Amino acid sequence: MTEVEPIIVKRIGAKYISYSHTLFAYSAFLIALAVGCYTHYYKIVQNEYFGYPDEWFPSVSATTGDRYPARAIFQIFIALTSGPRFALVFLWYFYTTQSAKTVSNGFGLFLLSVGIIRTVACGGWVYITSTDDHLTHDIAMILYLLCTLPWQLGVLYSSAKANQTAIKWRRSLTSAFFITLPPMIYFFIQHKVHRIPGAYTTYAFFEWSLILYDVAYDAVTAIEFQNFELTITDKSPNLATAALSSSPEGNIDASTLRTLTMLRGFATETYLGKDRHAFVFWSMLTSLALLIWYFPLWYMGISGYEAFLLITLLPVFLAIRPLRRLVYKYRGLVHLISLVGVASYLKVDPVWRLSLSAIGIGLSLTAWIAGWIESNGQTGELERSVLIWGLGLIMHCVVKMAWYTENPIWPIMNRQNGGLNDVGLVFGVVASVDVLLRDFSNGHRSESSNESAVRYPGSSLFAGLGFGSLLFALHSMYTDSSTIMRWTVDGYPNYGPDPVPWGIATIAALGIGLAISPYRRLTTSFGWYTVGAASCAIFYIYSSWTAFYGGLVLGTYLTSITPAMTRGLSTQSPFITLFSAFMSYNILCLAHVWVVAYEFVPGGVYARERTDVILCSVMLLIGLGVFNANKQARQDIQKRLAQFHILKHARFTTRILVAFFIGLSTLVSTHRLMNTISPAPYTTSEKSFTAGIWTIHFALDNDMWASERRMRDAIRDLQLDVVGFLESDTMRIIMGNRDWAQSIAEELGYYLDFGPASMKHTWGCLMLSKFPIIKSEHHLLPSPVGELACAIHATLDVYGQPVDFIVSHNGQDENYNDRIQQTTKLAEIMRTSPNPFVFLGYVVTKPQQEIYHLLFDGGQINDIDPTDWDRWCEYVGYRGLRRVGYARISHGGITDTEIQSGKFQVVDNPKDYWKASYDRIPEQEVKPELRYPSMFYGQGVRGHRYHVFDEPRYFRN
């Protein structure tokens, strides 16, 4: 009887054993660290002598063994690691004794025994914690450390001499491991014997570094296992054939499997890929100017920290060819180090956060550019990289939509205000380790790509200016799905699109641009450029829906030319190209700020309100880049044909992911709409409402954290039915393109009037109302010299009675004539209105002075409390309503300005209340439903309390 050949069921690359071991091991420790810090931070940094703030970083044992749920998570992941760990130990034995044959069978068995004992010992100290049995735990730990020395030295000795990369990394990691031991022991003695505060935290850092080195050492096996694989065979051919034929995978075409595999990898790389950041890059880029802005905001002028913007010039050093090749070869490591930008949230000091974020974006940008230049001879790989970069922008917009226009990994975010920095950082680090391993295992590919780098005819200056302008346009207008809406918003009823659900259209427009970007004859043509320029003109000239449509077409145009423009950037002289690109980007960013901050910057008078010049310059410079890219596209035809399979898969996957992100944004919008609270007054029984005014410093608190959640809580607890916010326009690069009011409006149930559009060059005024907005007008008040003052004049339906409100922000103290003209205009608006009126404004004057009388007497309204002499900026006025009370509430560290609030009642005969009386009454005579909340008496809540008078004031009428 003839023996039948066994059937090979599956081949598994041995390198995947190494990958899984590394992934599970790092995940076990890092996720446990994140969860432990989040759930029991103060407990796990506490030791037998000291606690926080002397000790502020936990040891490995405290993190992984002391508290639920971190302990459980750690043990689950270690269990997942055990399988790959045992497999790795046995594979190394077979590799060294049967394949590479670097050692004898006897030495191989010895090393195998050490590896098994070491693995079991690891299980001993993981699953038997010091709390369970301190002695057994310590014995297992000591045994593990003792076995580490022969294991690492034995593996190093048995490494194949032909693989110098693996040997180099093993030598480095072994040296680092054992060099770390003496200082770690020293600081442990300082803690245990000398009881030095903070010594245990330093010890913990050395202890954690041992973990990193230990896992990384075994991860190097992925380099040797590239051509080593496991084979699963079945000796029962009939059964094996039947099983194979019934397998769903067996019925899938091989090309389809390749497509699905690439789709999976492509999706992963959009967050943090094989050698690139995408989402993380855009997150760090958009946070840089936001962090810089905090400092001139408090200095009220140039602070010096603006120089951090120049970190974007770091890629210019890539003109040094050896440095560029080094960055490209170790781009995974560069991206890993760049995560200090994400980790900067751990520092409370704003200067530290800005400094670390600048380092992060500088390194990330350098790694991206190095990859593009060194891949310019590989058209398919370069386009794939740029498409991932573009998808990162779209993902950034989707994530911001889900977080109400904040990015959860920005350095202004933390757990208290909705941040997920720790989660983002953990995933970033874990993915970076995988990137590093694949970089080292494919090092020869990096070298070969350098040889194919070529230069093409064209203009380095045109390529650089075009790319810099494109980057600015994407950053300034399309890093949030609602930006183009807020740049063009108008008054009610022609308000324009709401961010939810119309942000979906913005994301779709960006995605469509990426999807059509491969059609270079179209995207680099003069006709398509004309469409882009015309859409930009429509976007600027018109407002509301028409401008929004123009902005959608412009977004499609910009993303459609991104691959071509990046291709042009990569093929020219690096120094001229990169310097012109990022210097033009920086100049445009500064100009983008100076059009509104002209009062506080040198030469600002020339930039005043010149967004039109900026947009014209952007489109002209992009035109130069497109002209250069058009010539490049004609020369690239042969190269694209040579890498057609890469291009085909990359483009197909891009379109799939574009559809995925559009679908995801639809789900996010649906979820937000379904959870939006319907507007309704806090108290309806007495036809009363509470109004307030607050200057909120662009939703950054005094310590540079995003403040909208704390603002929301204060507004909710004060039960403000109508509230005006000043310094509210955050739809610029320097404010992160945030529309912070969306979250408050949806979570508390308000109608929202954004105020004058961002392209109107004001610092912003915004109104939230529990009552329907019948109509509103946005005013730019006369400002011949100083910063442009803004105002909202809105008519609300308050219990069936039209009531007018003004929310306004006058100019600075230095420009007296401006304030006179602005107040005159406000008085005219109020005087000519036939309706009851409430004024909520920032006036910049002391009571009973000229501007004060011009406002109240000229506007025919009443000061809510003329006896309150301690006012300077914020004022509340009214007429045609019954005034119930007046309160001043401290800012609670959210800003440097208090909340002023008035309680009013709608009356049937408004004319009888046109003039006020000022008879005050005690709180006991006020109905409970008309009183201010009692929680703000005394020390108040969250830093908010009644101040100045230490209580509300109540009036008879």
Catalytic residues: 809
Compute the distance between CA of residue 353 and CA of residue 67 in angstroms, rounded to an integer.
30
User: Using CB atoms within 10 A of its CB, is residue 98 exposed (0-12), middle (13-18) or buried (19+)?
Assistant: exposed
Nearest to 952 by CA among 692, 695, 701, 723: 692
The Cα angle at residue 864 between residues 862 and 870, in degrees rounded to 5: 120
Q: Are 798 and 684 in contact (CB under 8 A)?
A: no
For 153, the token pair is 């030295």
Q: Are 839 and 830 in contact (CB under 8 A)?
A: yes
> Bridge partners of 796?
773, 803
For 326, the token pair is 């080094």
Q: Coil, helix or strand for 740?
A: coil
Compute the distance between CA of residue 445 and CA of residue 329 in angstroms, rounded to an integer.
9
719 DSSP 8-state letter: T
The Cα angle at residue 299 between residues 297 and 301, in degrees rounded to 5: 80
Nearest to 771 by CA among 744, 741, 797, 804: 797
Compute the distance between CA of residue 60 and CA of residue 42 in angstroms, rounded to an integer.
15
Q: Coil, helix or strand for 706?
A: strand
Compute the distance between CA of residue 576 and CA of residue 564 in angstroms, rounded to an integer.
18
- CA quadruple 643, 649, 651, 653: dihedral, nearest 10: -160
Half-sphere exposure (Cβ direction) of 24: Cα atoms closer than 13 Å = 17
Instruction: Please enumerate in sequence order all residues whose Cβ is within 8 A of that of 523, keeping only pairs 6 or more positions apart, or say none.
Output: 516, 517, 560, 561, 564
Compute the distance between CA of residue 467 and CA of residue 552 in angstroms, rounded to an integer.
20
Compute the distance between CA of residue 163 and CA of residue 849 in angstroms, rounded to an integer.
84
For 69, the token pair is 């749920």
Compute the distance between CA of residue 234 and CA of residue 786 in angstroms, rounded to an integer.
83
Report the phi/psi class of residue 948: left, alpha or beta, with left for phi > 0 and alpha for psi in -120 to 50: left
Residue type (1 letter), 768: L
- What secondary structure, in 3-state letters, does 486-554 show? HCCCCCCCCCCCCHHHHHHHHHHHHHHHHHHCCCHHHHCCHHHHHHHHHHHHHHHHCCHHHHHHHHHHH
Instruction: Please enumerate in sequence order all residues whose Cβ is within 8 A of that of 30, keeping only pairs 6 or more positions apart, or say none.
Output: 426, 429, 430
> Bridge partners of 131?
none
Q: Are 570 and 580 in contact (CB under 8 A)?
A: no
Q: Are 723 and 749 in contact (CB under 8 A)?
A: no
Q: How far is CA 236 from CA 7, 224, 241, in A?
A: 8, 33, 9
Nearest to 557 by CA among 486, 619, 616: 619
Nearest to 29 by CA among 200, 211, 204: 211
Residue 867: other Cβ atoms inside 10 A: 9
**Packing angle, helices 350-374 and 379-402, rounded to 10:** 150
Provide the residue count of the chain.
Answer: 957
Instruction: Please enumerate in sequence order all residues whose Cβ is within 8 A of that of 333, keeping only pairs 6 or more positions apart, or say none.
Output: 436, 439
User: Using CB atoms within 10 A of its CB, is residue 423 exposed (0-12), middle (13-18) or buried (19+)?
Assistant: middle
